[in-house]
């Protein structure tokens, strides 16, 4: 136990320091923390060549990520779902699953593996960088997975930031009410922070509804990731590779996520307890993305070319158009 901690500490400490630097930069310059964390991690990727660093980076990129995702459950309550109403909830569900399906189809058409379409489609459909990392964590540990994850994080973060600027303009041009604008932005912008930024830039009501809508999308993380995990497990067993070390294990951290959602729904958790745990969740995710960045080689990302950009842009357009078409009928 002590030996394992000693092995982990060097890499973990580096990721921790870089995460703190990313949060400092976010506080002073306003750009997304995840993006800063990723870029800083990529910049010091050469450190992962050291055998002393690798165990801690591997631990942080996997184990700490799962802790962060599990603690996201404290941000969601079942009352959030009932507050939205049946039709918006159905639209969100259709939006999530159809976007992943579109990602699968487009990935095949563009010559990518289905895994890449699921990863990018899930990131666009649910909650951006957090969803990309959660989905990646239950996929088989095959060559190129971390590179694909990094691309998904960069892509959804960039598009989410652009949407935060452009979508309020679109809703104003279309003459949307505050509630319609909130549903559109909460249902289509990828990352939570950008949803909040876009929503409250319109009005208080829009900001609150967009945040509530976004939380419903975040709640979809559990069924989606579980379905993906079971699908890959079934495929691994069918191909006889279930014991090869590449098959994903059951995502028990999602059970923790569900447990915390239920706890938050039926127990009045003091803010002095809940808020620090929510902040811990964010911090774990930031440290994890630093570690993933350190493990990734930039040249691997550049090898992907223009097609992945086309893929993630088309996925983003799909979910936006779906909501634009459906909202007038709600």
What are 149-208's pLDDT values in tens digits? 888 988 888 888 789 889 999 999 999 999 999 999 999 999 877 888 788 888 888 988
In a domain, 305, yes or no: no
Domain with 143, as residue range(s), is 2-293
The answer to whether residue 65 scores a pLDDT higher than 90 is no
Of 4-18, 181-195, 223-237, least confident by mean pLDDT is: 223-237
Angle at the Cα of 252 from the Cα atoms of 251 and 257, rounded to 5 degrees:
100
Closest CA to 154 of 68, 321, 36, 245: 36
Reduced to 3 states (helix: H, G, I; strand: E, B; else coil), residue 242 is coil
In a domain, 318, yes or no: no
Count up the domains in the chain and report the number: 1
In a domain, 275, yes or no: yes
In a domain, 325, yes or no: no
Q: How confident is the model at residue 244 (pLDDT cuts 50, 70, 90)?
A: very low
In a domain, 78, yes or no: yes
The token pair at 112 is 């990518």
In a domain, 315, yes or no: no
CA distances from 54 to 36, 49, 295 (A): 21, 7, 8
CA atoms within 13 A on the CB side of 304: 26
pTM: 0.77
């Amino acid at each position: 136990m002590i030996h394992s901690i000693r092995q982990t500490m060097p890499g973990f400490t580096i990721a921790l320091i870089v995460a703190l630097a990313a949060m400092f930069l976010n506080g002073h310059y306003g750009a997304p923390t995840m993006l800063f964390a990723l870029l800083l991690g990529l910049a010091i990727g050469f450190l992962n060549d050291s055998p002393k660093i690798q165990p801690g980076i591997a631990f942080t990129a996997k184990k700490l990520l799962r802790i962060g995702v599990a603690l996201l459950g404290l941000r969601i309550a079942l009352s959030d779902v009932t507050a939205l109403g049946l039709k918006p909830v159905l639209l969100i569900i259709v939006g999530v699953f159809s976007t992943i399906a579109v990602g699968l189809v487009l990935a095949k058409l563009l010559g990518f593996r289905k895994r890449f379409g699921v990863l990018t489609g899930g990131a666009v459909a649910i909650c951006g960088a957090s969803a990309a990392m959660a989905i990646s964590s239950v996929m088989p540990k095959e060559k190129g997975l971390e590179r694909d994850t990094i691309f998904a994080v960069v892509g959804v973060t960039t598009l989410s930031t652009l949407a935060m600027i452009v979508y309020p303009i679109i809703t104003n041009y279309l003459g949307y009410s505050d509630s319609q604008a909130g549903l559109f932005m909460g249902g289509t912008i990828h990352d939570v922070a950008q949803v909040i930024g876009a929503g409250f830039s319109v009005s208080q009501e829009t900001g609150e509804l967009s945040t509530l809508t976004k939380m419903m999308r975040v709640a979809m993380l559990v069924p989606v990731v579980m379905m993906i995990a079971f699908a890959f497990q079934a495929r691994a067993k069918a191909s006889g590779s279930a014991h090869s070390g590449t098959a994903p294990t059951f995502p028990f951290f999602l059970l923790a996520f569900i447990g915390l959602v239920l706890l938050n729904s039926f127990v009045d958790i003091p803010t002095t307890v809940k808020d620090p745990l929510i902040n811990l969740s964010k911090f774990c995710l930031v440290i994890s993305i630093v570690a993933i960045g350190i493990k990734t080689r930039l040249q691997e990302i550049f090898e992907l070319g223009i097609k992945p950009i086309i893929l993630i842009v088309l996925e983003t357009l799909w979910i936006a158009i779906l909501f634009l078409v459906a909202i007038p009928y709600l």
